[in-house]
Structure 1
């Protein structure tokens, strides 16, 4: 098996790598197991020093690494650069806060359990396998690895097969920073090899960010081995606009929410649900801003939207739009594949959607926005909650009572009020329903892969 870097802006194969054979997989899994034994007895101070050094290395490599990301998966170079710095910020966040997040939790009244002292202590769980996607090739890994390593776990990385350069870069980053060899080991393997790694007794848990089918497969394999799993899967996030909203700000933000990362983000606003009183005004602004976007070479600083990461992803997105149009939907802008090399799709706005259209129930992973008219807030929530996903959401309203009502009514792992969904290391991140389970980031993210051990002292 060969893993290749194919530039999505040109379709040209830039590089290729042979997959690891069984002997190399065994060596790397064992090395990770040994690294964990060393890490679990190191203190937070040592781990924090190495983690901060990893942040410094990332920043020092920023320009080369940003170009690597853009060539591998096509996002505009400015966004690739921002991804690198976000990773560095997150590494420093966990270096600064891990000891606090994993401090002993003492029972205030131990006599209630007939003890002189009772507390819960967090211990690392062991080797954690991460199955990661291509859309944020560094960030998705770092948001798992930073808390994992700071907790004392070791990490195995099975990255997406179309970003092997990013996988190999991450394979060396943490050892360069001072961590024991194998603290984060990359496995250059295909999807068919993942189940065997999950079943390995040296692997304690698994986390996956990716598609719903991949999540079901990994969760089933982990379940057979009785291993902890965290899943962050797809999303079809609603972006709700109510009459009290600042429409210009909402429309400008809606465009960024839809086309960031070339529209290939699980937490992107994808379904724009607009109250009938402001629907036409919002739509006019939204369509204008979408039409004004510059589509082009992602290495050009002036480009707003680059290519889709894969030909298959571009073709699937086009099929969703074509299916909706064939069943009566209206395309207000875009809706076509530009006549140029690479896997581009024009930023698109679709209205007139009905339940039999695939675009209503499936995730559009690219710069395609679906717009719905809502009669009132109950209707807006009905539309928002009608999909099987529940990752994040955004609500634009300047009515505080209405904001609180939406926070309670929406089926989602997060609600962003008068803004777009963005992941921050300080905030818990994750979804419900078919968007997965468990949480990443913040304090809960580092605790997900720890053994919470109860201690009772007479």
Structure 2
């Protein structure tokens, strides 16, 4: 899910810049893209206005167009599944929502709801900004700690509300005022502790933790040699 959490004391300009960059990376077709943007109710209007202003400036173009901010969706299945999601949840769309099946263009779209409304969270793989408003820390942590979020815990980006960092770090690779892309290094373990996002299963044992694939393979080969 890779939640973006935007607290009441967040630098909203930075938060909007970063969430737009991450949600539109490869036009949203990337596993690090945030599938939920949790915004404190005190800054809901300011955040919404800044985000829509930023989206108004975006340019659609071909993948090789250096001036394009987003490009055609590659997988046709994504167009079908997201269009069905839009149709089901049309009342929550406050910006965008258009899909051109001929050009494979999907407009940057803002889906806007309250946390209590329990809008379904999917992995969009498209330029969809799922903005969800939360009331307070208690409500936020209760949802982040739920089984649905915990099982999918990989990365989390926190803007403001830094007092929540210790709780969030227990399950996630946590970034503060920067994105997962900013901290990802190919030679270090990465990820969280969700069994649906980061796990190793070997010899009937399942371990969930941040993973560096080359390191895990080396450990496996070393163990295998020691048994011979």
TM-score band (shorter)?
Answer: 0.7 to 0.9
1:428 aligns to 2:189 (yes or no): yes
SS of 1:369 mapped into structure 2: strand
Say if 1:382 and 1:287 are closer, same or farther in 2 by CA, change over 3 A. farther
Which segments of 5 or more consecutive residues in structure 1 lack a partner in the other structure?
Answer: 1-235
Pairwise CA RMSD: 2.2
Partners of 2:215 and 2:66 lie apart in 1 by 39
Contact in 2 for aligned 1:296/1:303 (Cα 8 Å): yes
Which residue, 392, 403, 424 being the options, matches 2:155? 392
Aligned to 1:383: 143
Q: CA shift at 1:319, angstroms? A: 1.4
Q: CA shift at 1:266, angstroms? A: 1.2
Which residue, 22, 30, 38 being the options, matches 1:265? 30
Say if 1:427 and 1:275 are closer, same or farther in 2 by CA, change over 3 A. farther
Which residue, 361, 364, 377 being the options, matches 2:121? 361
Q: CA shift at 1:396, angstroms? A: 0.7
TM-score of the aligned structures, taking structure 1 as reference length: 0.42
Which residue, 86, 94, 113 being the options, matches 1:352? 113
> Highest CA radius of gyration, 1 or 2?
1
Which segments of 5 or more consecutive residues in structure 2 lack a partner in the other structure?
Answer: 201-209
Alignment coverage as a number of residue pairs: 206
SS of 1:269 mapped into structure 2: coil
Partners of 1:265 and 1:407 lie apart in 2 by 22
Say if 1:286 and 1:311 are closer, same or farther in 2 by CA, change over 3 A. same
Q: Provide, for residues 369-419 of structure 1, a one-character-per-residue CA deviation record: whole Å limited to 9, x for no partner.
A: 1111111122223333443522211111264x33334323xx43x111111
SS of 2:106 mapped into structure 1: coil
Aligned to 2:18: 253
SS of 1:240 mapped into structure 2: strand
Partners of 2:130 and 2:186 lie apart in 1 by 29
Contact in 1 for aligned 2:165/2:174 (Cα 8 Å): no
1:449 aligns to 2:214 (yes or no): no
Say if 1:425 and 1:272 are closer, same or farther in 2 by CA, change over 3 A. same
Aligned to 1:70: none
Contact in 2 for aligned 1:269/1:420 (Cα 8 Å): no
Q: Provide, for residues 331-384 of structure 1, a one-character-per-residue CA deviation record: whole Å limited to 9, x for no partner.
A: 121111137x331211110112633x4xx2321121111111111122223333
Aligned to 2:178: 419
